[in-house]
């Protein structure tokens, strides 16, 4: 990736800026009037789709569009690990080194990639092609050890397989992930995360589901287990207003003196209080 394609917003062409503003408005329109600030998370992905990270200019852009302060935007952007504070390469390679994947080979895979690429955690290769990072549990423990490339999964990767994947990326190839969508660049992934459809032909439909993910469904199918009468198209019912809600079934009945039963302390506490009162203690 050339330096030009990672330019921050001020250097973006007028066309890119106009497109960015139009997309920002499309995101904001997803939320109720007056709730624009709720659009901040997709907006941060949107600015990453232009800059490859949440640049200071991206923070200012979000703040302007959403009526927030830059401090408020920064507070959110620095809380989540998916918002990057430095330019990310074309491919973000995240190796799970959490306990389970770590002991199964994730640690070795990470070390191997780090040595091969000459970078450490959250660093990018000189040519801007690959950013490497340690990742905490990627929620795919049943496929461990796993790594993701721009958040697409490669399952059960040992050090050799991890190295092969990265070498193919460096050679301009895009290996097929184990499941889910095919690979695209970090900026393109960021645009999808902002809620814009990946319009490459078949991009989101060509990856298989993983067997461990489906194991529960298959078991239920074999055992004939299903929710009786469940209609997946059942509309979600609106929650009734609080005043109209019946009291909880477990609410304690009021005692004879009118006080709620829950206010009466246990017998040992009552005895201790009585004794203290006798002795003139508080
Ligand atoms: S520990 Fe690696 S995905 Fe959970």
Ligand 1-lining residues (CB < 6 angstroms): 96, 98, 100-101, 137-141, 144, 146
Per-residue pLDDT tens digits for 216-271: 888 888 888 877 777 767 666 666 666 555 555 555 555 555 554 445 556 666 67
Distance between first and last Cα of the chain:
75
**CATH code, domain carrying 62:** 1.10.10
Compute, in angstroms, the gap from residue 98 CA to the centroid of ligand 1: 6
Q: Which of 54, 77, 100 is the last residue of a domain?
A: 77
Q: pLDDT band at 199, cuts 50/70/90? A: confident
Domain that holds residue 114: 91-184
Mutating to test ligand 1, I would choose from 104, 134, 138 the residue with most ligand atoms within 8 A of its C-beta, which is: 138
| pLDDT tens readout for residues 125-169 | 999 999 999 999 999 998 999 999 999 999 999 999 999 999 999
- Let me know if residue 225 belongs to a domain: no
> Do 95 and 179 sit in the same domain of this protein?
yes
Predicted pLDDT at 4: 38
173 CA distance to ligand 1 centroid (A)? 26
Instruction: Pick the closest to residue 261 from 270, 251, 271 (CA basis).
Output: 251
pLDDT value of residue 62: 96
CA nearest 84: which of 133, 28, 35?
A: 133
Question: How far apart are the C-alpha atoms of 122 and 93, rounded to whole Å?
Answer: 10
Q: How many domains does the chain have?
A: 2
CB 90 within 8 A of CB 1: yes
Is residue 63 domain-shared with residue 123, that is, in the same domain? no
Q: What is the pTM of this model?
A: 0.74
The minimum-distance atom of ligand 1 relative to the CA of 140 is 3
Are residues 114 and 62 located together in one domain of the fold? no
Instruction: Using the 3D structure, point to which of 132, 160, 184 is the last residue of a domain.
Output: 184
Question: Ligand 1 centre and the CA of 130: distance in Å?
Answer: 22
Report the mean per-residue pLDDT for the chain. 84
Residues 105 and 179 occupy one common structural domain: yes
Q: How many Cα atoms within 13 Å fall on the side-chain side of residue 33?
A: 0
């Amino acid at each position: 990736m050339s330096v030009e394609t990672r330019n921050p917003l001020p250097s973006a062409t007028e066309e890119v800026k106009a497109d960015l503003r139009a997309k920002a408005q499309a995101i904001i329109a997803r939320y109720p009037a007056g709730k624009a600030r709720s659009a901040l998370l997709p907006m941060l992905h949107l600015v990453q789709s232009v800059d490859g990270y949440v640049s200071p200019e991206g923070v200012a852009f979000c703040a302007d569009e959403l009526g927030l302060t830059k401090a408020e935007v920064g507070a959110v952007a620095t809380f989540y690990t998916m918002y990057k504070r430095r330019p990310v390469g074309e491919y973000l390679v995240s190796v799970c080194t959490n306990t389970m994947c770590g002991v199964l080979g994730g640690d070795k895979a990470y070390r191997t990639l780090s040595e091969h690429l000459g970078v450490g955690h959250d660093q990018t290769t000189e040519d801007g092609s690959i950013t490497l990072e340690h990742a905490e549990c990627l929620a795919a423990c049943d496929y461990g050890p796993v790594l993701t490339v721009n958040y697409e999964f490669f399952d059960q990767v040992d050090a050799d397989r991890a190295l092969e994947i990265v070498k193919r990326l460096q050679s301009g190839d895009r290996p097929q992930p184990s499941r889910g969508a095919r690979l695209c660049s970090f900026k393109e992934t960021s645009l999808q995360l902002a809620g814009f459809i990946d319009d490459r032909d078949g991009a989101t439909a060509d990856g298989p589901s993983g067997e461990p993910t489906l194991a529960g469904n298959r078991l239920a199918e074999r055992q004939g287990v299903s929710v009786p009468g469940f209609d997946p198209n059942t509309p979600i019912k609106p929650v009734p207003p609080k005043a109209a809600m019946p009291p909880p079934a477990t609410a304690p009945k009021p005692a004879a003196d009118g006080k709620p039963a829950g206010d009466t302390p246990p017998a040992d506490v009552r005895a201790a209080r009585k004794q203290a009162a006798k002795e003139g203690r508080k």
